[in-house]
């Protein structure tokens, strides 16, 4: 519940402020007066210069912890989205390297920031900018029939591949650390609360994936907090240690629906 309250507070941020003002407001609410350090050499962001589908845009990053510490949390902020804090990966098992990608709605042209918090309390940030076609993705009508979407809501499909994506250096580093890539495909309409039913012309109530808990080998690994920025039927991709033999995923949405999925992983 606290997660939802926090998200709704962010939903009310003045994101239509002038260039840079939205980010200053967001960063202060998240981190107060804490210093944010240049993420060069720590965070490599992979995002399109101009998205070809505002409603389903892949945002990814490879994060490598500085020597002697580990990555504890990674956050994705789309400054001008109605709910700017779009996805948060909170690692209960901090990692020296972590990769993620996620499909997001991008409501309009926006600066974006990826932040990584290390176990010694430092926060690193890398920024970019994504141009859009101006569709207003957060208010765009759903792509599927609402009744059909409810029939499969919460279904999940898990798949695992060897290694991570990104640059040659990132892939080689992933191989050296024996990382695998886990993809979680979630069937969910991700209603933003800003969309209108095309028949009744009434607004569809907000309902999105609030939390995805990913456990490895019976213990915690990462807790992913979602938002209305998650695309319809979102996909989460992330690195997992190559030693993992079992994955359990629990999805909870803002209406309290809970679903689970399980996969056994092959060893080396």
This prediction's pTM: 0.88
Q: State pLDDT tens for residues 35-68.
A: 999 999 999 999 999 999 999 999 999 999 999 9
What SS3 class is residue 5? helix
For residues 8-26, average pLDDT: 60
* Predicted pLDDT of residue 267: 61
Any idea what DSSP says for residue 231?
A: P
Q: State pLDDT tens for residues 173-209.
A: 544 468 999 999 999 999 998 888 877 878 889 999 9
Any idea what DSSP says for residue 137?
A: G
List of residues 6+ apart from 48 with CB closer than 8 A: 57, 58, 130
Return the domain boundaries, the chain. 2-261
2-261 folds as Immunoglobulin-like (2.60.40)
Q: Is 161 left (phi over 0), alpha (psi -120 to 50) or beta?
A: beta
Q: State pLDDT tens for residues 202-253.
A: 888 999 999 999 999 999 999 999 999 999 999 999 999 999 999 999 999 9
* Predicted pLDDT of residue 115: 98
């Amino acid at each position: 519940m606290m997660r939802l309250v926090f998200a709704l507070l962010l939903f009310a941020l003045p994101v239509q402020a002038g260039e840079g003002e939205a980010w200053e407001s967001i960063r202060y609410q998240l981190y107060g007066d804490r210093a944010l350090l240049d993420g060069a050499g720590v965070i490599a962001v992979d995002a399109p210069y101009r998205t070809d589908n505002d409603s389903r845009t892949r945002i990814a990053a490879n994060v490598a912890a500085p020597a002697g510490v580990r990555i504890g949390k990674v956050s994705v902020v789309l400054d001008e989205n109605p709910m700017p804090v779009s996805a948060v990966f909170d690692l209960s098992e901090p990692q020296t390297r972590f990769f993620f990608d996620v499909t997001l709605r991008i409501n309009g042209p926006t600066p974006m920031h990826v932040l990584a918090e290390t176990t010694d309390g430092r926060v690193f940030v890398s920024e970019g900018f994504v141009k859009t076609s101006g569709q207003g993705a957060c208010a765009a009508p759903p792509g599927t029939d609402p009744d059909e979407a409810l029939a499969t809501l919460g279904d999940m499909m898990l798949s695992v591949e060897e290694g991570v994506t990104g640059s040659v250096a990132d892939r080689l580093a992933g191989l050296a650390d024996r990382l695998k890539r886990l993809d979680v495909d979630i069937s969910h309409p991700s209603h933003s609360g800003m969309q209108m039913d095309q028949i009744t012309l009434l607004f569809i109530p907000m309902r999105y994936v609030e939390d995805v808990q990913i456990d490895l080998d019976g213990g915690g690994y990462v807790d992913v907090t979602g938002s209305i920025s998650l695309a319809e039927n979102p996909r989460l991709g992330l690195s997992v240690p190559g030693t993992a033999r079992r994955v359990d995923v629990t999805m909870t949405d803002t209406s309290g629906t809970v679903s689970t999925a399980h996969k056994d992983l092959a060893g080396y």
